[in-house]
A = this chain, B = another copy of it.
């Protein structure tokens, strides 16, 4: 049984990590990671639901794939109500949040009711936000069903919905009471979906965990194939890296911004392209490529930058679609992480060590971006 900084690997290959965050209602919660984690966490889920009005939020696709596993999860509840949202980022609207709140009230939802959110990153973002604001906050369990959601969206308490003016512009910090990341659920994902999730793993590994980077390089084929046993330690390590950062800085005032490596341009690309042309992880991959360019100018060794770029290629990052540079710049100006002093950029200083650079001017970004958009990804 290997003990990591924030948890341990059980003899059955399951990882149990603990998150301790001072802000928010739940002082401490567990993240259970591994092949078969949902079965292993059955008794915790049952305790969470026991005697409560329980809402299980998912999407049509998730319900079709994993409905049976979910039914068992809410055993012992006073009553169980299924809630449904659309698949994908389109679920993250205020209108859908409102319809869920209203349905929960009509079904007798109370302050001690519980929400179980089962789905990809959009669904866990939405579910977290719905739980955060329903009657000023009820407890939520996150059951992420995509790799992206398992390594990133469901851990750390960030919840949000989108407005036409921007993604994640309305939200709350609301820690879950439990996260169950079962890598067996990932078997149904497309290869491109797994690849997009692995980009977020590389994002964290590049700045925070070089052994994890090496593991992804070594096992890329197994991981892209959705091997639940190979994915388990990768998800656990990425979650552990994220937990360390989140515990230090739950409200993203300082070091938590490191997790935004690749996201400054990534979010702007998604916004300029209308959220359909690229998966989130793919947009972040291109954002990382751009950040590596800025980092090279600030002393990142060319070999280290190239190593990350190569790994993104191995993860089959698709080419960047044609996009209007002016619209991308405009989206960056509206970025919610912008401050009066301008945008901060998260850049690798060396492998395993990121820094927050406040010296990147709009002029430099505009100049670099023009060159970047003119160069196809495969040429890097």
Contact = CB atoms under 8 A, between A and B. Distances in A.
Contacts of A159: 136
Interface string A53-93: 10000000000000000000000001000000000000000
A257 to B, nearest CB: 11
A251 interface: yes
Contacts of A252: 136
Contacts of A78: 340
A112 interface: yes
A346 to B, nearest CB: 15
Interface string A126-159: 0000001111110000000000000000000011
A252 B132 CA distance: 15
A166 B105 contact: yes
A170 B101 contact: yes
A66 B340 CA distance: 29
B102 A340 contact: no
A363 interface: no
Contact of A173 (B108, B136, B169, B337): B136
Interface stretch (A17-25, A206-214, A348-356): A17-25
Contacts of A23: 23-25
Contact of A135 (B94, B101, B135, B169): B169
Nearest to A93: B98
Given A102-B165, A165-B105, A170 B133 contact: yes
Nearest to A132: B172
Contacts of A297: none
A96 to B, nearest CB: 12
28 contacts: A23-B23, A23-B25, A25-B251, A52-B340, A94-B98, A98-B163, A98-B170, A101-B163, A101-B165, A101-B169, A101-B170, A102-B164, A102-B165, A105-B163, A108-B333, A110-B340, A111-B336, A111-B337, A111-B338, A112-B339, A133-B170, A133-B171, A133-B172, A134-B170, A135-B170, A136-B160, A136-B168, A136-B171
Given A98-B163, A135-B336, 16 more contacts: A23-B23, A51-B340, A101-B163, A102-B164, A102-B165, A105-B169, A105-B334, A106-B165, A110-B340, A132-B172, A133-B171, A133-B172, A134-B170, A136-B173, A136-B251, A172-B172
